[in-house]
Amino acid sequence: MRINAEIAERLKALGVEVRAGVALSGLTSLEIGGTTDQLLLRRCEAIPEVMRLLKSEGIPHRFLGGGSNLLVMDGELPFVVLHLPSTQPGMRVEGNAAYVEASADLGGTVTFCAKHDLGGMEGLIGVPGSIGGALRMNAGAYGTQIGPHVREVELYREATGEIETLKGAEIRFDYRHTSFAPGDIMLRVKLELPPKPFKEILAGIRVCNEKRRSSQPLNQKSAGCIFKNPAGGSAGRMIDELGLKGHRVGDAMVSDRHANFFVNSGNASCEDMMKLINEVRERVRGAFGVDLENEVIFWQN
Ligand code: EPU
């Protein structure tokens, strides 16, 4: 979708940098996705006005975080993409609290806090993506989730059209799901973390890195796990038991390392990936009677 020159000028006046014709395949870890205009929100305080402008002009939009848990449709996208520019370093520590910008890298945040002797997030070390995405999805791994550490979130709230601060207790963090609305935009978070000596945190980080390296296809293009684990079960194990590792539709392939990771082994299209996802879901339903829920977010029509 293309923004016309008049609206682009009005957006620029609100501190928005408009990048025309950006391929989402370059901004997502699956390296799949069509083309649209990208709007970089350089002035947070102007976001409510930007959103009012997009609404009044009838311009559909989606917010892109780190792009690491996302499957985007091919071709010319029927929406523009909003994005927060990264700020360096984007985080600071005060006592047991870490104040982090939503655009900051999750892994970088874990390491930064570790260097300040703040632990508790070791399990999240290899989870790709931004802090904003981690908040929205309640990112988790190896028994750790970000939710319990959240004390405050500053965000643009779709419901009120304003920038607000929510207390941790006002937000529901469930398994890979939160009470944030689809149109909410995370801006900053205050995390409270248990003090721990750097060396101890580092040892924990090393263990998690090793586990991840031994079971996940880290050097391939993927969006992490495709399906949520059903209660008490493992999507990866079920897909593996069906002998589907290495199964492919075009260049979309079930990883031969971890069966709940679907990789783009070359130039997979969104259509290839969707076909593979639907086929695997059907096979699991047929064999186990389990209806797998997507963990990855789909941006389709
Ligand atoms: N398994 C197989 N074959 C496979 C994959 C897994 O038999 O191909 C078995 C394993 O041997 C193990 C069980 O299934 O007994 C669980 O596997 P694993 O420990 O790899 O964890 P997972 O449940 O598949 C979850 C998260 C991951 C997270 C890991 C580590 C979900 C959907 N996945 O995977 O998160 O990294 O635990 O904590 O919750 C993600 O969210 O994108 C993600 C990758």
* Ligand 1 atom having least distance to the Cα of 142: 38
- Centre of ligand 1 to C-alpha 244, Å, is 15
Contact between residue 187 and residue 154 where contact means Cβ atoms under 8 Å apart: yes
What DSSP letter does each residue of 153-208 carry, written as one string?
Answer: EEEEETTTTEEEEEEGGGS-EETTEES--TT-EEEEEEEE--B--HHHHHHHHHHH
Taking alpha carbons only, the member of 100, 99, 81 closest to residue 18 is 81
Please give the span between the terminal C-alpha atoms of the chain, in angstroms, as a whole number: 12
Distances (CA, A) of 117 to 93, 108, 172, 199, 238: 10, 14, 28, 9, 40
Q: Point out the ligand 1 atom lying closest to the alpha carbon of residue 139.
A: 41
Cβ of residue 237 lying under 6 Å from some atom of ligand 1: yes
Q: Is the CB of 279 under 6 A from ligand 1?
A: no
For residue 27, report the phi and psi dihedrals to the nearest 5 degrees: -120, 5
* Cβ of residue 128 lying under 6 Å from some atom of ligand 1: no
pLDDT digits 0-9 by tens, 220-267: 999 999 999 999 999 999 999 999 999 999 999 999 999 999 999 999
229 lines ligand 1 (CB under 6 A): yes
Mutate to test the pocket of ligand 1, among 138, 142, 241, 260 (most ligand atoms within 8 A of CB): 260
CA pair distance 82, 84, nearest whole angstrom? 7
pLDDT of 87 above 90: no
Please tell me the distance between residue 181's alpha carbon and the centre of ligand 1 in angstroms.
Answer: 27
CA-based Rg of the chain, rounded to a whole angstrom? 20
Query: 194-206, pLDDT tens digit by residue?
Result: 999 999 999 999 9
Whole-number mean pLDDT of the chain? 97
Res. 181: pLDDT tops 80: yes
Check if 258 has its Cβ closer than 6 Å to any atom of ligand 1: yes
pLDDT digits (tens, 9 = 90+) for 28-51: 999 999 999 999 999 999 999 999
| Ligand 1 near 260 CB (within 6 A) | yes
Asked if pLDDT for residue 301 goes beyond 90, the answer is no
Q: pTM for the full model?
A: 0.95
